[in-house]
A and B are shown apart, each in its own frame.
Chain A
């Protein structure tokens, strides 16, 4: 059973640029969620995708968007990057059959 994999592991971007982060869900999981974890904080829910549609969103602006593909992998896109977007971005997959979550190791985004 494969876990959740995220790419890249680290990324440095300039303010105003756009970034795409990728996540491969655990086998058998049909739901994927994204979280932002600022330094010294707990993760904050960005949004969730189920069957390729967003079905839940946290308090994040529209410049945070995502996609889920038929194989349940996912992308997180952030436009017009701001310095405060610097954080660890975690992807978690889950199954509607249970309430467990499997997290990836995250992408560390630094905006300069």
Chain B
């Protein structure tokens, strides 16, 4: 079974600084997708960034980028120029890309605080 581990229950960052959230996963599959979701107090899961395992290039979305290390099964999220609105729970998630498989497996999350 696939597992996703987020080893940092809480992180904090100064406004305008950079922070990196860690995620490791375990799978025997070679084709899969990885995601970072943000969950603010409004509770809705918001997609931050996603990565296809077959792509060697790391995904980037504005201030958000990932460091995807397939061999190490590591998928960290870097947030640059942190803003107060970035404060939230961040979840790393995995999904096997096989046909008919849509289940997302989530980590336990990292609570990010942004200090003004």
Provide the main secondary structure of the chain A interface: strand
For A40, A42, A44, A104, which residue has the most chain B Cβ atoms within 10 angstroms?
A42
Residues 89-110 of chain B, each 1 if its beta carbon lies under 8 Å from chain A, else 0: 0010101010011111111110
Verify A99–B100 contact, CB threshold 8 A: no
Please give, as numbers and ranges, the residues of chain B lying within 8 Å of A56 by CB-CB distance: 100-103
Verify B95–A99 contact, CB threshold 8 A: yes
Residues 90-112 of chain A, each 1 if its beta carbon lies under 8 Å from chain B, else 0: 10101000011101111010000
Q: Does A16 contact B (CB under 8 A)?
A: no
Please give, as numbers and ranges, the residues of chain B lying within 8 Å of A35 by CB-CB distance: 104
Kindly provide the distance from the CB of B50 to the nearest chain A CB, expressed in whole angstroms: 8
Interface segment out of the listed B11-19, B37-45, B59-67, B74-82: B37-45
Please give, as numbers and ranges, the residues of chain A lying within 8 Å of B97 by CB-CB distance: 99
Q: Does B84 contact A (CB under 8 A)?
A: no
Q: Which of A1-56 contact B (CB under 8 A)?
A: 31, 33, 35, 40-45, 48, 55-56
Kindly provide the distance from the CB of B1 to the nearest chain A CB, expressed in whole angstroms: 9
Please give, as numbers and ranges, the residues of chain A lying within 8 Å of B46 by CB-CB distance: 103
A104 and B91 alpha carbons, distance in the complex (Å): 16
**Ranked 9 nearest A-B pairs via Cβ:** A42-B106, A103-B45, A105-B44, A45-B103, A106-B43, A105-B43, A42-B108, A43-B106, A42-B91
